[in-house]
């Protein structure tokens, strides 16, 4: 059951500023699109991709929540038409998964056309939405990853639309829409996912993202319940601590790359200058007394510096050393 989101209330308020009947008509068009995507598409994605993390209406609502946090409370930062196209693009950005995960961003058009019944009046909207939504992942026609670059300045209903701004906001909001709600604890505990996909669901079950706009940072918290099995640490479902730590390190670097990439194209995202991550461990239901400084990756680059891995920046995060320390603490508890 869909519940109205704060982003949608903001959209409605913004559309109400337009001359009538424009605002009312656009809001009705939005509701029609939402009904189609929720009822006909996203809830059926598990039929074609049963091992994906969640792409249902819960994910759409979470992307809207993260987008709200990213753009902040300023009601005039985006025009009513831009908010409308951003909302429609959020609805359609993942619908291609209905036809398989691979290149799903290139499979949006058919579903969009079905939702809008091929009506000519939606052609300007289609031009904008397909460009904005397709840029949230994948590669360009030339084979590189700079997908937002290809989103040109758009027009809609006589208004100029900052296409790259909207594409960057959607892309980063989608990147940050992660957490336990995207997986099933029951399926994890009962071998409901293919072995090669368990790591993605374990990651989702263990991470929390916090968008701290006032401090200009994205804060990540990882929480793991440790198990000592045959002298080695696991985090449940047979996932080795070594495996999940390496996966987390790669995701921290990827998220920071997305932060820097998206803010290049978005003035609204320019306030985010830092990515931080902290790790919390529990053993037998109690927090492990293991103090380790957070990982912080900022925009500060000193002359002569080279790109460093997490372990180079923070030697205590060397996987082998960290695991040995935790094993010692768990064995003594």
Output the DSSP codes for 219-253: EEEEEEEEEEETTEEE-STT-BHHHHHHHHHHHHH
Cis peptide before 21 (omega within 30 of 0): yes
Pairwise CA distance, residues 114 & 236, whole Å: 42
Segment 311-329 mean pLDDT? 95
How many distinct helices (H) and strands (E) make up the chain?
13, 8
- Yes or no: domain 6-175 corresponds to CATH 1.10.3210: yes
Query: What count of other Cβ atoms lies within 10 Å of the Cβ of residue 310?
Result: 19
Output phi, psi for 219, to 5 deg.
-110, 130
**Can you tell me the distance from the alpha carbon of 134 to that of 175, in angstroms, rounded to the nearest whole number?**
14
- The answer, yes or no, to whether residue 130 has pLDDT greater than 90, is yes
Cβ pair 296, 276 in contact under 8 A: yes
Cα 18 to chain centroid, rounded? 31
Confidence of residue 304 (pLDDT cuts 50, 70, 90): confident
The pLDDT confidence band at residue 306, using thresholds 50, 70 and 90, is: confident
DSSP 118: T
Domain ranges of the chain: 6-175, 194-332
Contact 117, 132 (CB under 8 A): no
User: Is residue 188 within 8 Å of 197, Cβ to Cβ?
Assistant: no
* β-bridge partners, 229: 232
Query: Is residue 110 very low, low, confident or very high in pLDDT (cuts 50, 70, 90)?
Result: very high
The pLDDT assigned to 203 comes to 97
> What distance in Å separates the CA atoms of residue 123 and residue 93, rounded to the nearest whole number?
17
Q: Is the pLDDT of residue 111 over 70?
A: yes
pLDDT for res 75 = 57
Provide the pLDDT for residue 307.
74
Task: Report pTM.
Answer: 0.95
């Amino acid at each position: 059951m869909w519940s109205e989101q704060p982003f949608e209330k903001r959209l409605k308020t913004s559309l109400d500023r337009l001359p009538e009947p424009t605002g009312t008509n656009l809001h009705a068009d939005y509701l029609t699109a939402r009904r189609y995507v929720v009822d006909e598409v996203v809830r059926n994605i598990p039929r074609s991709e049963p091992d994906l993390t969640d792409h249902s209406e819960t994910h759409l609502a979470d992307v809207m929540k993260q987008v709200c946090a990213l753009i902040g409370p300023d009601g005039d930062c985006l025009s009513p038409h831009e908010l409308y196209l951003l909302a429609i693009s959020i609805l359609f950005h993942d619908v291609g998964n209905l036809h398989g995960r691979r290149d799903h961003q290139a499979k949006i058009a058919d579903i969009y056309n079905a939702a809008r019944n091929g009506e000519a009046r939606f052609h300007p909207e289609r031009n904008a939405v397909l460009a904005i939504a397709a840029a949230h992942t994948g590669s360009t026609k030339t084979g590189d990853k700079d997908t937002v670059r290809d989103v040109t300045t758009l027009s809609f209903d006589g208004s100029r639309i900052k296409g790259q701004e909207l594409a960057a906001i959607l892309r980063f909001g989608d990147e940050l829409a992660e957490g336990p709600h995207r997986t099933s604890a029951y399926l994890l505990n009962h071998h409901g996912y293919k072995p090669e996909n368990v790591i993605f669901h374990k990651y989702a079950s263990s991470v929390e993202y916090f968008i701290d706009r006032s401090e200009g940072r994205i804060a990540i918290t990882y929480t793991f319940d440790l198990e000592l099995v045959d002298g080695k640490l696991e985090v449940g479902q047979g996932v080795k601590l070594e495996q999940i730590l390496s996966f987390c390190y790669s995701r921290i670097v990827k998220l920071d790359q997305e932060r820097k990439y998206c803010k290049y194209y978005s003035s609204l995202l320019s306030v985010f200058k830092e990515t931080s991550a902290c790790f919390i461990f529990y053993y037998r239901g109690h927090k492990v007394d293991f103090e380790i400084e957070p990982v912080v990756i900022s925009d500060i680059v000193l002359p002569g510096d080279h790109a460093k891995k997490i372990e180079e920046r923070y030697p205590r995060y060397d996987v082998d050393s960290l695991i040995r320390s935790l094993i010692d603490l768990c064995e003594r508890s």
